[in-house]
Structure 1
Amino acid sequence: MNRIFKKTNFIPPEETDGTKIFPFLNPKDNQSGLPFDLFDGFSIAAGEIEYGKPSKVHFHPFLTQVTLVTDGRLVVRMKETSKDTLLFTSPPYELTVDKEQAILTPPKTFLQLTNPQKGPCKVLYITGPEYLFLMEGKKIIYDDAIILDETWEQLAAMKWKPDAVTKPKFSEVDRKNAYKRLSRR
C-alpha cells in the first residue's frame, strides 16, 4: 500500500483511562477515517503516559494487548484471571518495561500503567483481535475497554468482582453487533 500512516485524532486523558491515546491504525474504529476492510485481526494505537499520572485500572474482556515502550520506562501492574472464568487466583504483580521492551496482557486481566520517570513515556498498543470502538455524536455505542474507577485496594476488597466487570455494559453479542455496524459505514 502506497501510504504513510500518522497518529492523529488525539483522545484526551479525561475521555480514556487517564492517558493520551492516538488511535492511528485501526480500521474497526469509526473515528479513524480508515476503510473498514483495510485489514483484519489487529489494531495499533500510540499512547503517552505522563509522569506522576497513572492510568485508571482497566480491563479488556475480549482482547489481548501488547504494550511496547518506544521511549521512556513503564511500570505495569496486572492481575490475571484463570483462562476461561473470572476466578482471580494469582496476586497482582508489577513489571518494569524499558524502551524497546514489551509486555503481553491477556483478555480478562486488570491492567494499570504508570510512568515512573520525568517526561512522557511513549508506547504502542497492539491488540488482537482488532479494537472495536463505535461512537455516534458524543455517545459511545461500543468500546472494548472497561475503565474502572476503583483502586487496587478497593478491587481486592470486592474480591475482584466490580459490577463493571461482572455485569459489563457491553457483551460479546454487543461486540458482534458493533462489528456489523462498523462494517456498514
Structure 2
Amino acid sequence: MADEVTGVTDALVEAAGEGLRAGATPVAVFAELAARSTDWPAAARAVCLALGVSAEEVDRRLGPRSRHAFLRDFEAGEEEACGELLELVGAFDVPRPLDERGQEIRRLLSAAVRASGGLGGGHALSLSRRFMKAEPAEAFLSLAHSGPRGAGCRGTVEFWEAMNTAGTLLASDEAGDDDRIARAVEACHDHLTRARA
C-alpha cells in the first residue's frame, strides 16, 4: 500500500532493503529504483527507510520543504548522478549517537570552529555529517587539516588549544592506533606552540 503523501510503498522499501542487504550502495539502490519509477522522491525515501532512518527524519530530509526539491529536476538516464548528489548532501546518512567521549570531542571542535570565526558551507555540512554518523575522528582530521578559517584570525590560539585537547582525547582511545590521528595531534601541538609564540 502506498503512502498517500509520499508515494512510498512497502514493496518499494522492501526492494531497497533487498538491494542494500545484497551489498549495493545506497546510490546504486536509488539509481535502480529510480530507473524503474517515475517517482524519484519516493525512491529516495524508500532507500532512507530501508537504511533504518526514521520516517520523521526522512520527512525532514526529503519533504516538500527540504533542500532536496531538486530531485524533480533530474531526467531519465541521470539516476546515478541524482543518487550521488543525494549521497553528497547526506540524504542517505544513518544517524548514530555519540558516546560521552564523542560528545566531548564535538564540544571541543565546536569551540575551535567558534574561535576561528566559523566555517564555509561545504565544510560545515561535512562536519555535521561526520557527527551525525558518529565519526568524531574524521571530523577532527578535517578541521586539523583546514586550520582556522582566516590566517589572521583572533582566535588562533583558542582554535589550536581546542584542537590539541580534542586530538589528545582521540589519541587516548582506540583512534590512537590511527597514524593519521597521531600525525594530526602532533601538527596541532606544533601550531599551538607557534600561535602562542
TM-score range, shorter chain: under 0.3
Q: Which has the higher contact order (CA 8 A, sep 6+)?
A: 1
Larger radius of gyration: 2
The structure with more strand, counted as a fraction of residues: 1
TM-score using structure 2 length: 0.24
> TM-score, structure 1 length as denominator?
0.25
Higher helix share: 2
